[in-house]
Amino acid sequence: MIPTLFGILVVSFLVIRLAPGDPASQKFGGVGQASGGINAERGTEAAEKRFRERFGFDKPLYIQFGMFLRRLATADMIFFQTEQKIWRELWEALRITILLNLIVFVLIYVAAVPLGIISAAYPHSWTDRVTTLGLFIMYSLPSFWVAEMLRMQFGNWLPIMGLKSQNFDQMNSSQQILDYLRHIALPVLCMTYGGLAYVSRQMRAGMLEVIRQDYIRTAEAKGAGKARVILVHALRNSLFPIITLFASLLPFLVGGSVIIEVVFNIHGMGLLSYEGVLRREYDLVMTTLMLSAVLTLIGILVSDILYVVVNPRVSFEDGSR
C-alpha cells in the first residue's frame, strides 16, 4: 500500500501542477487592472512575485514537491488565497459528506441485496422483468436532472437548500433530528438510486452464477427448500461481487457528489474540492485526493479480508481457492 500511495501522490501532484495557472495568478490576477494605474499594477506584480518566492512556485517541480511533502508531514496545509490552515473547513465539509454517504450506503445495500436475491431466485419472471426494467431506468437517469425534477415537484413540502433551517439552534433535539431528515431527504434520494440499481444488478449476477453450480443442484435434490438453498447455500458465495464493489464505493465517503452538493447548496467535500480546483488550492486538492486514495487502498484491503471471512477456502498465498 505504501509504494502505491506514493505513486498516487506523485502522479496527482504532477497533474495538478501542470494545469494552467497557480495560486498566485488566482490571488493577484486582474487586481492591478481593476485598481487602475501603472503604479498599482506594478505593485501587484511585485506582490505576486513575492508570493511565488515565498511558497516556491517559481522553483522547479521537484523542489515544489519537496516543499509540499514537508507541509504534509508537518500538517501545515493551507489555503493559499487566505493563508489559513485548511483543517477546520476541511473537517466541517468532511463531516457533512461522511454522514450523508453513510446513510446512502446503508440504504443502497439494505435495498439492493434483497432485490438482487429476489430477481435471481425467480429469473425471467414478471417480478424479475419489472425489477430489471425499473432499475435500468433509474440507472440511466442523470442525477442533475433528477435533482432538479425533485426540487420542482417537492419544493413546497421539503427543504431544497442546505442541511438545516435558520432557526435550527432554537429547536429541541427531536425537532432538530426531524429538520435534518427533511433537509437530507431529496439529496439522499438523488445519491441513492443510481448506486442501488448498480449494486442490485451485481448481486443478481453473482447469485445467478452461484445457483447454477453443482452443489446447489445437489442441495435441491436432497429436498432443501428454495429459501434455504438461496439464503444458506448460495448467499455467502454470491457476495463476492458486492464485496469487490466495497473498495470502489468507500472513497465516495470523502469525495462527495459535486452535482448534488451544488444543486442543494450542501457545503460538503464535493463542493469544497470543486471550488479548490478552480482557485488552484493545491494543498486542499492534494489532501482530498490523498484521503480518497487511502480509503481506496483500505477498501481493497478490507475486501481481501472479507473474502476470507465469507469463504475461508480463499487463499492469498497461491492465488487459489
DSSP string, 268-293: SHHHHHHHHHHTT-HHHHHHHHHHHH
**pLDDT band for position 42 (cuts 50, 70, 90):** low
Q: Which residue has the cell 501603472?
A: 38
Q: Which long-range contacts (CB under 8 A, 24 or more apart) does 306-310 make?
A: 306/243, 306/246, 307/240, 307/243, 310/236, 310/237, 310/239, 310/240, 310/243
* pLDDT at site 17: 83
Which whole number is the average pLDDT over 120-124? 84
Enumerate the H helices of 230-268 as residue ranges. 235-238, 240-249, 252-255, 258-263
Which whole number is the average pLDDT over 36-65? 75
**pLDDT band for position 20 (cuts 50, 70, 90):** confident
Q: Which residue would you say has higher pLDDT here, 103 or 222?
A: 103
Which whole number is the average pLDDT over 18-43? 62
How far is residue 90's CA from residue 70's CA, in Å, rounded to a whole number?
A: 19
How far is residue 251's CA from residue 146's CA, in Å, rounded to a whole number?
A: 23
pLDDT tens digits, 204-245: 888 888 887 877 778 778 777 777 777 777 777 787 777 777
How far is residue 185's CA from residue 253's CA, in Å, rounded to a whole number?
A: 18
* pLDDT at site 33: 44
Is residue 38 predicted with pLDDT exceeding 50?
Answer: no
CB atoms within 10 A of CB 124: 9
DSSP assigned state of 232? I
* pLDDT at site 36: 45
Which whole number is the average pLDDT over 55-66? 86
Burial 145-182 (b: 16+ CB within 10 A, else e): ebbeebbeeeeeebbbeebebeeeeeeeeeeeeebbee
Is residue 311 predicted with pLDDT exceeding 80?
Answer: no
167 backbone dihedrals φ, ψ, rounded to 5°: -95, 25
How far is residue 143's CA from residue 263's CA, in Å, rounded to a whole number?
A: 10
How far is residue 146's CA from residue 193's CA, in Å, rounded to a whole number?
A: 10
Is residue 254 predicted with pLDDT exceeding 70?
Answer: no
* pLDDT at site 176: 86
Enumerate the H helices of 29-167 as residue ranges. 31-35, 38-55, 61-73, 87-121, 126-140, 143-154
Q: Which amino acid is at 205?
A: A
pLDDT tens digits, 75-96: 888 888 888 889 888 888 888 8
How far is residue 175's CA from residue 34's CA, in Å, rounded to a whole number?
A: 48
* pLDDT at site 43: 63
Q: Which domains does the chain have, with CATH numbers?
A: 2-76 (no CATH), 87-310 (1.10.3720.10)
Q: Which residue has the cell 432557526?
A: 167
Q: Which of 131-140, 164-173, 250-259, 263-272 has the lowest mean pLDDT?
A: 250-259
33 backbone dihedrals φ, ψ, rounded to 5°: -65, -35
Is residue 12 predicted with pLDDT exceeding 60?
Answer: yes
Quote the mean pLDDT of the chain.
81
Is residue 35 predicted with pLDDT exceeding 60?
Answer: no
Which of 95, 87, 142 shows the shortest CA–CA distance to 266? 95
Is residue 193 predicted with pLDDT exceeding 80?
Answer: yes
* pLDDT at site 290: 86
Q: Which amino acid is at 306?
A: L
DSSP assigned state of 79? E
